[in-house]
Structure 1
């Protein structure tokens, strides 16, 4: 399992390469939810999401032979753009496998950063593996990787450095990469802080994995929060979630949409629905904000058309 020293090393490697994102406040949201809220604004991160933290960490640690072969990942969108940006920054050829139903803006972003995008149907992981092996590319898993996890842990270090008075941290959950890194950093520094994960009801693979005691796979995972619609829970992520996360709750599609609109209206932050998951949980009452509560606003790569229906 990653240590605090591992996470601190990753943070040092990232320093000067990515943004140290701000922690913001909103009196309107404080009044709405009855607590002091702080928003870790990862939508201002390079490529518009937290993903560059872990993926750049991974690329910086590749061997010369792995870099020469080029890298490949599979993604709903944010990891695709993050890997494409990180690979261009590191001078490494990149390929990303995405569903044909992926948000067009996220496909365009990956291509804009210089990646080769393969749009596929059916089992994304199976086709990712086929392309990876057929072209002899270096696979970079978007969340089930120790380097990726430690890179994401840098967010937790920043959050506590800026707000050491936190009582609770709310983190959106997809396959488990972000929350496993953040929770590890937070709990190793301050074990008394509660860490709560939030995932969509229609893509609840982490909740199912916790209930089963082993990583599970969903037959399908579709949500307006496409960045959280991971079909599998990472084998490296689950033990960290079991050890360091106090609770994982589910939220409805309606709450995700309402929360996105609410936060955009009150803060003017153009967050994507995945990043609104903490606020959706507070709206539905599955999470009661108390004391100083941090919400990780994980990204801002939204499909505006879905908000205007």
Structure 2
């Protein structure tokens, strides 16, 4: 891996590389959502992506850039589910082996989906094991390459295709985003989106949205340096439970983000229900936080245009039932 920051040109190249290998997800709108926000709201629904989340974009882009020798060794990563499933799918697509270290408390639906792509699953204790060290050890044993969940230039560039598509599809409607809300864990998705927005919609305010108790990006932006999470928040939004912002992702995000906002567990569950009832999509908790922020008025552009990245839909059935009952 290189520590060179990716650029907008890398996002453009990733889009070309990924053409035909991923779904170009549509934009969704709803009159009620516009009324609640007092704005034109454009929802980017990555639950409709193959594997059910945006993660397929970055994982596939990184895998495609491996040389022939690296492909023979296969890939390794650590993930609570979405990135692991994406790496497994990318490896399957390219005829490679994949080994995925997954925490023992990862949602069963995500573990099963990852295994279905033919990946080897290595369980670990989220609270007692250094996942980066574990991934490095597994890669060394197998002669494989680690594709980390967010702090990698090729992963970041691939995730940026989300915003690239959003901007281009909005433009086809004669619209330019005034604000964009993005679900944020380690920061790879929002960093990639920043690269696209800086180039194509530089006046748009970009907001990192995090669940209560896991607001490392918000606090880091305010402090001007990376700060870790205290691991005291709810595990509901399992897709966003990063230890701290990535070094590469924060280097990109701190220069452009308008700030960070936090949503409560109740607001996340309400957003999941709203998405199901009105947008007709199934959204996991971590994928719903940006929508929750717009519904709660924490990201606003009254009279303007708001882009909302709904990042994933791989939700445990019991958790989804809880959201519908909220």
Q: Deviations over 1:150-201 (max 9, x none)?
A: 1111111111111032221111001000000011111111211111110112
- Identify which of 13, 19, 22 aligns with 2:17: 13
- Secondary structure at 2:255 match in 1: helix
Q: Deviations over 1:31-88 (max 9, x none)?
A: 2222211111111111011001111000000122211111101111100110000000
- Identify which of 268, 273, 291 aligns with 1:256: 268
- Identify which of 122, 128, 132 aligns with 1:125: 132
Q: What does residue 143 of structure 2 align with?
A: 136
Structure 2 distance, partners of 1:233, 1:111, is 28
Structure 2 distance, partners of 1:32, 1:209, is 30
- Secondary structure at 1:223 match in 2: coil
Q: Is the 8 A contact 1:282 1:289 kept in 2?
A: no
Residue 137 of structure 1, CA deviation? 2.2
- Identify which of 312, 317, 320 aligns with 1:304: 317
Q: What does residue 37 of structure 2 align with?
A: 33
TM-score between both structures, scaled by the size of structure 2: 0.90
Structure 2 distance, partners of 1:47, 1:133, is 27
Residues 146-165 of structure 1 mapped to structure 2, 5 A cutoff: 146-164=153-171, 165=175
Q: Is the 8 A contact 1:93 1:115 kept in 2?
A: yes
Question: Alpha carbons of 1:236 and 1:83: their partners in 2 closer, same or farther (altered >3 Å)?
Answer: same
- Identify which of 205, 215, 219 aligns with 1:204: 215
Structure 1 distance, partners of 2:78, 2:191, is 19
Question: Alpha carbons of 1:283 and 1:163: their partners in 2 closer, same or farther (altered >3 Å)?
Answer: closer
- Aligned CA-pair RMSD: 1.6
Q: What does residue 285 of structure 1 align with?
A: 297
- Identify which of 4, 18, 38 aligns with 2:8: 4
Structure 2 distance, partners of 1:211, 1:236, is 17
Residue 219 of structure 1, CA deviation? 4.5
Q: Is the 8 A contact 1:144 1:237 kept in 2?
A: yes
Q: Is the 8 A contact 1:84 1:94 kept in 2?
A: yes
Question: Alpha carbons of 1:88 and 1:2: their partners in 2 closer, same or farther (altered >3 Å)?
Answer: same
- Secondary structure at 1:24 match in 2: coil
Question: Alpha carbons of 1:68 and 1:216: their partners in 2 closer, same or farther (altered >3 Å)?
Answer: farther
Q: Which of 258-267 and 53-62 deviates more?
A: 258-267
Residue 244 of structure 1, CA deviation? 2.1
TM-score between both structures, scaled by the size of structure 1: 0.95
Structure 1 distance, partners of 2:223, 2:207, is 19
Q: Is the 8 A contact 1:43 1:298 kept in 2?
A: yes
Tell me the matched-pair count: 309
Q: What does residue 283 of structure 2 align with?
A: 271
Structure 1 distance, partners of 2:118, 2:223, is 40
Runs of 4+ in 1 over 6 A off after TM superposition: none
- Identify which of 164, 176, 184 aligns with 2:187: 176
